[in-house]
Amino acid sequence: MGTLLDGKVVAASLKEETLKAAKELREKGIAPKLTIVRVGANPSDLSYERGALKRMEGCNIDTEVKELPEDITQEDFIKALKEVNEDKNTHGILVFRPLPKQLDEEVIKYVIAPEKDVDCFSPTNVAKVMEGDATGFAPCTPTAVMEILSYYNVDLKGAKSVVLGRSMVVGKPVAMLLLGQNATVTITHSKTKELPAVCAEADVLIAAIGRAKMVTSDYVKEGAVVVDVGINVDEEGKLCGDVDFADVENKASMLTPVPGGVGSVTTSVLAKHVIKACTLQNK
């Protein structure tokens, strides 16, 4: 079988860098802090929150969770978010999404302070991802994909990369990040004609379609690098990716597992972004 791209190893390497940077900030009397804004108590938000809080603790980053009622009005939500924007002790803000439907994300995304927006909610940061402007914050999950590829020295220059999925949280931004590393990028989705054949041309395949085990060996070229961004639940109620691991593992040269792949690096990227935000705010 191919090489397992182990997210835990990549996460540990990122944590080392982040801890060192946190220590240096604290020596200057600055305590890096992430504030999480959560509306209600959605299980997938809570699951990410648990992982994020644990990771921040391990990286010596302070945290606060601003828990808001499920039925909060748009006006009250904006007021609460502005308070976090203005909190001098908060350097990074993570707003769990999607927000409940009475809240209009198309309006709220302009409210979050771009310099504290560590998961790319603000259009300012979305634009910076498009422009390849490193002063911004790309979303944490696509950045985790890039960290894994970089850690394992996957050469992206000129590589044929295919992104399966076009969401604003993964597909589109990861395509821009790959392009930034000089990959040749194709974005595919559920309407793509001859989808398996298009994916099977990829040297590097990023699966972010959100359908359990959809990517079988007929989507994969012999020797391809396959990164699985999916977090789904299978028939047995177990966590699984978009890739049918058992079917693909002997065809791919490198492959991420789920769990233990991209998902386990995402919170380390979040921590890295909080440190970056804190450093930039104290220049």
Ligand X SMILES: Nc1nc(=O)c2c([nH]1)NC[C@@H]1CN(c3ccc(C(=O)N[C@@H](CCC(=O)O)C(=O)O)cc3)C=[N+]21
Neighbour tally for 231: CB within 10 Å: 21
| Amino acid making up residue 164 | L
Nearer to ligand X, 10 or 162 (CB): 10
| Positive or negative torsion for Cα 38, 40, 43, 44 | negative
Binding mask 232-261 for ligand X (x = CB under 6 A): --------------------------xxxx
Task: Tell me the closest approach of the beta carbon of residue 38 to ligand X, in angstroms.
Answer: 9
Q: Does 15 bind ligand X (CB under 6 A)?
A: no
Please select the residue that binds ligand X; options are 97, 166, 189, 211, rule is CB under 6 A.
97
Instruction: Report the alpha-carbon distance of residue 75 to residue 235 in Å, rounded.
Output: 41
Residue 231 among known ligand-binding residues: yes
Closest CB to ligand X belongs to which residue? 263
Three-state DSSP at 65 gives: strand
Q: List the structure tokens of 262.
A: 């991209």
**Residue window 36-75: x/- pattern of binding to ligand X, with contact defined by CB under 6 A:** --------xx-xx--x------------------------
Q: Give residues 178-217 in contact with ligand X (rule: CB under 6 A).
A: none
The nearest distance, CB 71 to ligand X, in angstroms, is 19
Which residue, 13, 15, 6, is CA-closest to 55?
15
- Verify binding: residue 96, ligand X, rule CB under 6 A: yes
For residue 17, what are its two tokens? 């860098």
Closest distance to ligand X from the beta carbon of 264 (Å)? 4
Residues 6+ apart with CB under 8 A from 235: none
Which among 24-32, 93-101, 170-178, 246-254 is the span making contact with ligand X, rule CB under 6 A? 93-101
9, with CB counted inside 10 A (0-12, 13-18, 19+), is middle
Q: Which two tokens stand for residue 199?
A: 């994916």
**Choice between 66 and 97, CB closer to ligand X:** 97
143 lines the binding site for ligand X (CB under 6 A): no
> What are the structure tokens assigned to 57, written together?
């603790």
**Smallest distance, Å, CB 247 to ligand X?**
19
- Cβ of residue 222: shortest distance to ligand X, in angstroms? 25
Please name which of 223, 227, 209 lies closest in space to residue 149, comparing C-alpha atoms. 227
Q: Note whether 36 and 94 are within 8 A (CB).
A: yes
CB 164 within 8 A of CB 188: yes
CB of 265 to ligand X, least distance (A): 8
| Binding site members for NADP(+) | 165-167, 231
Point out which residues bind ligand X (CB under 6 A).
7, 44-45, 47-48, 51, 94-97, 119, 140-141, 231, 258-264
